[in-house]
Amino acid sequence: MTQYCVVVTNGARARFFSLEPAEFPELESGPTLVEHKHLTNAPREAQNNELWSETKTGRNRAANGGPAHGYDDHRSRHEDEYERRFANNVAAECCRLSKSHNASDLVLVSQKRMLGFLRNAMESRLNGINTYEVPKDLSKLTAQDLHEHLARDNLLPRRKNPAA
């Protein structure tokens, strides 16, 4: 069992980690951030032409080469809904991971926009778990680099060298 779970997302992909102690502290460094699962937000990773029939938004041509006129196809509302659905999936997986590892602390690392959607999705799901938010996109970092970054911010304990 671990005390910490870490979720890193950028809106297109979410990665789920737990902080695991060293099995043999006298022989190996620890604790170690271990990735358990990742989720992807398929609409966010799709190309524009895979989601929309018109790749450009807001312009249309009149018949016979007449003047162009603007319109709002409400594309941003659809994109917000994709983000909200992904945040709900991430929140459900956070709850599952936190409960299965009996975690007392959850660190959410995400860009500000996605962090807002996650906050709303997790509002009533994580009772009794301390939640810490980091409004940065660190999704491309390796597990070790992520651990070092969060340890510098005092959100995770630092890795210790093997006992000599």
Give 128's DSSP letter. Answer: T
Residue 115 binned pLDDT confidence (cut-offs 50, 70, 90) = very high
Give 57's DSSP letter. Answer: -
pLDDT, position 124: 74
| Three-class secondary structure assignment of 20-63 | ECCCCCCCCCECEEEEEEEEECHHHHCCHHHHCCCCCCCEEECH
Domain that includes residue 81, residue range: 4-45+73-152
Domain total in the chain: 1
pLDDT, position 158: 87
- Please tell me which residue, 124 or 157, carries the higher pLDDT value: 157
pLDDT, position 47: 47
pTM equals 0.76
Rounded CA separation 66/147 (Å): 59
In a domain, 115, yes or no: yes
In a domain, 64, yes or no: no
- Give 12-32 pLDDT, tens digit per residue: 899 999 998 877 666 667 788
Give 119's DSSP letter. Answer: H
In a domain, 148, yes or no: yes
Per-residue pLDDT for 150 more than 60?
yes
pLDDT, position 76: 63
In a domain, 38, yes or no: yes
Residues in the chain: 164
Tokens read off for 157: 């304990």
pLDDT, position 135: 94
Look up the CATH number of the domain holding residue 110: 3.30.420.60
